[in-house]
C-alpha cells in the first residue's frame, strides 16, 4: 500500500514538473506540439520508474547538448552563417533519443535489477557521446575518416569520425556516467562500463549513419534509438561478465 502511494505521488509530481518544463520548451521552440506531448509522457514515466536521480541524468544530458548547440551557433554566426541550428524536436526526435532509456527504466521498475539502471544511464551517455562528437568534431577537426573504410572525408560527412570529436564525446559520456555515480545509481567500476558501452554504441551510430547515407535505408531517429538501445544492452552484458569474473 505504501509503495502504491509512493508511485502515485511520483506520478503526480512528475506529470506537473514535465508539463511545466514542456510548456517552457515549447515556448522556446525546443519542441513542437508532438514533441511536447511525447516528452511529457516519456519523462513522467522515467520519473516514476527511477525517481529524481533519473532527472539528474536527463538534465545533465540536455545541458551538455544545449551548450554544444550554443557553441555551434556562435561559430556559425562568427562565420556569417545565419541559418542557425534549431533544436525544435518533434516526436520522432524525442523518441529516438529517450525511448530506449525509458524502456530500461521501466524494466528496472518491474524487476528491481540494478543493471537496468546502468543501461538507462548508458543510453544517455551514448546519446551525449554521439551529439557532442558530431558537433565538436565539426568545429575542431580539419578532416575526418569514414568509419566503414577509414578513408579521409570532409568533416560533417554522415558516418565520419575524428580524433577531436571522439575525445569530446568520451568526455561528455564520462560526465553522464559520473553523474550516475554521484546520484548513487551506479558504483565506481560501473562508470567505466558505461563509458565502454557508450563508445561502442556511438561507433555503431556512425556506422549505421554511413550505411544509411550510402543506401538511404534507415531513418536517422531509428539509428539513434538502435544505437542507444545497443549501448544499454552492451552495458548489461559487460556488467554480467564483470560480476561473473569477480564472484
CA 74 – CA 92 distance, rounded (Å): 27
Q: 24-52 b/e with 16+ CB inside 10 Å = b? A: ebbeeebbbeebbebbbebbbbbbbbbbe
Q: Is the pLDDT of residue 119 over 70?
A: yes
Average pLDDT on 186-209 reads: 93
- Note the Cα 206 to chain centre separation in Å: 14
pLDDT band at 117 (very low <50, low <70, confident <90, very high): very high
Q: Is the pLDDT of residue 166 over 60?
A: yes
3-state secondary structure of 135: helix
Average pLDDT on 101-126 reads: 95
52 HSE (CA, 13 A, CB side): 5
Query: For the whole model, what pTM was predicted?
Result: 0.90
* Cβ-based neighbours of 241, under 8 Å, separated by 6 or more: none
* Cβ-based neighbours of 7, under 8 Å, separated by 6 or more: 48
pLDDT of residue 76: 65
Grid coordinates of 76 = 556559425
Grid coordinates of 185 = 545509481
pLDDT of residue 36: 86
Q: Is the pLDDT of residue 201 over 90?
A: yes
Measured from the Cβ of residue 137, the count of other Cβ atoms closer than 10 Å reads: 22
79, burial (CB in 10 Å: exposed 0-12, middle 13-18, buried 19+):
exposed
Q: How confident is the model over 46-73, as pLDDT tens digits? A: 999 998 999 899 999 988 888 877 777 7
Measured from the Cβ of residue 90, the count of other Cβ atoms closer than 10 Å reads: 16
Q: Which of these, 55, 31, 56, lies nearest to 178 by C-alpha position?
A: 56
Tell me which of 31 and 185 has the higher pLDDT. Answer: 185
Q: Is the pLDDT of residue 29 over 80?
A: no
Q: How far is CA 145 from CA 33, 91, 164, 170, in A?
A: 38, 31, 12, 18
Amino acid at each position: 500500500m505504501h509503495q502504491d502511494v509512493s508511485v502515485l505521488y511520483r506520478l503526480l509530481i512528475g506529470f506537473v514538473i514535465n508539463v511545466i518544463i514542456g510548456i517552457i520548451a515549447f515556448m522556446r521552440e525546443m519542441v513542437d506540439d508532438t514533441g511536447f506531448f511525447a516528452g511529457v509522457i516519456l519523462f513522467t514515466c522515467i520519473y516514476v520508474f527511477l525517481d529524481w536521480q533519473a532527472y539528474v541524468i536527463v538534465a545533465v544530458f540536455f545541458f551538455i547538448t544545449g551548450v554544444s548547440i550554443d557553441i555551434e551557433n556562435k561559430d556559425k554566426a562568427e562565420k556569417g552563417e545565419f541559418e542557425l541550428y534549431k533544436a525544435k524536436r518533434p516526436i520522432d526526435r524525442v523518441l529516438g533519443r529517450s525511448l530506449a532509456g525509458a524502456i530500461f527504466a521501466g524494466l528496472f521498475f518491474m524487476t528491481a535489477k540494478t543493471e537496468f539502471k546502468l543501461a538507462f544511464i548508458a543510453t544517455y551517455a551514448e546519446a551525449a557521446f554521439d551529439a557532442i562528437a558530431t558537433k565538436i568534431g565539426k568545429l575542431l577537426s580539419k578532416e575526418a575518416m569514414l568509419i566503414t573504410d577509414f578513408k579521409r572525408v570532409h568533416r560533417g560527412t554522415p558516418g565520419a569520425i575524428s580524433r577531436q570529436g571522439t575525445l569530446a564525446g568520451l568526455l561528455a559520456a564520462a560526465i553522464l556516467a559520473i553523474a550516475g555515480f554521484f546520484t548513487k545509481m551506479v558504483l565506481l567500476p560501473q562508470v567505466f562500463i558505461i563509458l565502454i558501452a557508450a563508445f561502442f554504441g556511438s561507433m555503431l551510430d556512425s556506422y549505421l549513419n554511413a550505411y544509411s547515407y550510402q543506401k538511404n535505408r534507415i531513418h536517422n531517429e531509428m539509428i539513434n534509438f538502435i544505437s542507444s538501445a545497443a549501448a544499454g544492452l552492451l552495458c548489461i552484458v559487460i556488467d554480467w561478465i564483470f560480476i561473473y569474473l569477480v564472484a
